Structure 1
């Protein structure tokens, strides 16, 4: 009898443990199902220039325990293609989207449709200007200030004047609002300093036209306003195909840093892509938690890096995030 009683108690204990395990598993599954899903749509998503951005997004997702997915995209997107991708993400269960908007005549319509579907956070610049209270929030560096700073660095190297010097301007084929702001800052920064703008050249997103860069007239400086253009110019300079022109520009990839390190570029303004990724996700989640709160945009810092301070302590963190 005692033996039967012990067996009964043992069986009850085992069953009780199984119930607890099952309850724990069900709770975990429930929690996983309830995780918010955030989709990220950027052009050329597998390109290494986005390493810092994606690392920041990943860290923010871990800190806030949300599910993050970066949509696979090619080097070019249209607004209609972005709209289609957003719909696909909504159908796949996305609760919100972080979007790098393309430059397109249909961009405003695409953003209006996206806002009807789910909360939206922009990175880069907002190409659609509305009243400040109704603008979609955006996380970006101060693009005008970066362009202006690049002009200051160039002037510093030549005692504040560029009389008799010539420049070539290099940027992406589609001039996004952030590139326009960078150019504006640079051009206003060297206004009246004697420099002559000789040419402007556009790099396709897939770099197909980069080999024609060497055919441009000789200039003293090539100024590149985005990572694709900077790496194209650096590659051309490294092959001695820029006729001795010095490269100053804006970039945020390990390839851009490589060209700086090897002397193919003189000066690099580097937006903190890690913070852009991290802040965009955190801000989006805060706005989802408090939908009636005023929507705020954020400006992120940038660094100016030269070969001599490339591996300084203050630049270590930004270089580390690029390589993740």
Structure 2
């Protein structure tokens, strides 16, 4: 009797083990099983060669990827603002099987053509500039931002020309900021001069521009150009008030020192999180929309206000 019971127990164990083996062979072949095991790959293509200014944006993206189970791949350009190289990177990543793409466009018009030709079902999220063919745009109201920054200039203006630096000719988002600022200043009777300049050469070359010598104030409209302009003004002892966009550790220090008069800023961390979250959800077939990013104009005396501290010094969990 005991032997029969023992045999039945052994047989039961063998049946369970056999069933486990069969399941292990069948489960990987079930529809959708492989997709669940493979995390979504998200490629992020910036506009600059040096992405230090996007560090808080990257933190937001990393948080979203961690929350939603995705992997990030960050790509930079060999030369800042090289639209052709960025377009080629976007094509390569799409062809290489990226689940979704996030891009800060250097040349939205050129990227639009690439999206229509090669990306197909791979969702694309654009940061800063509207991009035809993108499933989502994460940006502030760029024209309104430029206008409010110009209002800060008017508060300080005591006469003289204001230099508007056009450093991202192909970027429609940056151009909208510049156009908004120019409209406000011109309507107020402020003489302005629009100077095209390569952002990567501002730190060394700004002081030699004849337009700079005549300017009482300088406005820059993207974060990289803002930092480089402040560096040039400080290093060259030029003395103009600088108004810009975005914040970095260096720019916050410049606001404290008075080298920067005011900057228009939004939460880079929130922008990164929303962009990555939107790309991931769109890639998974989910509906997703994002509101325009709120922004504020910050002066040196405003840095340590509670709301601005959250904006300028994000704390992540």
Matched residue SS, 2:247: coil
CA distance in 1, matches of 2:316, 2:250: 10
1:36 aligns with 2:36: no
Confirm or deny: 8 A CA contact 1:141 1:301 kept in the other structure. Answer: yes
Q: State the alpha-carbon separation in 2 of the partners of residues 214 and 30 from structure 1.
A: 58
Q: Is 1:283 paired with 2:264?
A: no
- Counterpart among 308, 318, 321 of residue 311 in structure 2: 318
Inter-partner Cα distance in structure 2 for 1:186 and 1:200: 11
The 5 Å alignment of 1:5-20 reads none
Task: Name 1:57's counterpart in structure 2.
Answer: 61
2:267 corresponds to which of 264, 272, 278: 272
Give the number of equivalent residue pairs.
297
Distance, in Å, in 2 between the alignment partners of 1:143 and 1:247 is 19
The 1:322/1:143 distance shift into structure 2, 3 A limit, reads farther
Q: CA deviation at 1:174?
A: 2.7
2:216 corresponds to: 220
Please state how far the C-alpha of 1:92 moved relative to its aligned partner.
4.4
Residues 100 and 123 in structure 1, CA contact (< 8 A), matched pair in contact too: yes
Using the alignment, how far apart are the partners of 2:202 and 2:136 within structure 1? Answer: 34
- What is the 5 A alignment of 1:95-106? 95-103=99-107, 106=110
Distance in 2 between residues matched to 1:213 and 1:79, nearest whole Å: 23
Q: Distance in 2 between matches of 1:288 and 1:57?
A: 15
Question: Helix, strand or coil for the counterpart of 2:120?
Answer: helix
Asked if 2 retains the 8 angstrom alpha-carbon contact of 1:270 and 1:303, the reply is: yes
* 1:183 equivalent among 178, 187, 201: 178
Change in Cα spacing, 1:31 to 1:239, as seen in structure 2 (3 Å) is same
The equivalent position to 1:211 in structure 2, one of 204, 208, 211, is 204
Looking at structure 2, the residues matched to 307 and 83 of structure 1 have their Cα atoms a distance apart, in angstroms, of: 38
Instruction: Compute the TM-score of the two structures, normalised by the length of structure 1.
Output: 0.78
1:308 is aligned to 301
Whole-angstrom CA distance in 1 between matches of 2:140 and 2:115: 21
8 Å contact 1:52–1:322 — kept in the other structure?
no
CA contact (8 A) 1:272 1:318 kept: yes
Counterparts of 1:153 and 1:174, CA distance in 2:
24
C-alpha change, 1:208 and 1:314, in structure 2 (3 Å) is: same
Specify the SS of the correspondent of 2:187. coil
1:105/1:88 Cα in 2 relative to 1: closer, same or farther (>3 Å)?
A: closer
Query: In the alignment, which residue of structure 2 is the partner of 1:111?
Result: 115
2: CA distance between counterparts of 1:301 and 1:107?
Answer: 26
Alignment gaps of 5+ in structure 1: 129-133
In structure 2, what is the Cα distance between the partners aligned to 1:77 and 1:257? 24
Instruction: Give, in angstroms, the shift of residue 209 of structure 1.
Output: 4.8
Q: Distance in 2 between matches of 1:82 and 1:229?
A: 19
| Structure-2 change in CA distance of 1:86 and 1:194 (3 Å) | closer
Deviation at 1:31, TM superposition (A): 7.9
Asked if the contact 1:127/1:176 (under 8 Å) is kept, the reply is no
Q: Shift of residue 77 of structure 1?
A: 5.2
Residue-by-residue CA offset, 1:262-282 (whole Å, 9 max, x unaligned): 211111111322111111122
Tell me if the contact between 1:45 and 1:71 (Cα under 8 Å) persists in the aligned partners: no
2: CA distance between counterparts of 1:105 and 1:289?
Answer: 27
RMSD of aligned alpha carbons? 3.4
CA contact (8 A) 2:56 2:269 kept: yes
Residue in 2 aligned with 1:202? 196
d(CA) in 1 for partners of 2:221, 2:315: 18
| Distance change >3 Å, CA 169–CA 283, structure 1 → 2 | same
List runs of 5+ in structure 2 lacking aligned partners.
Answer: 1-5
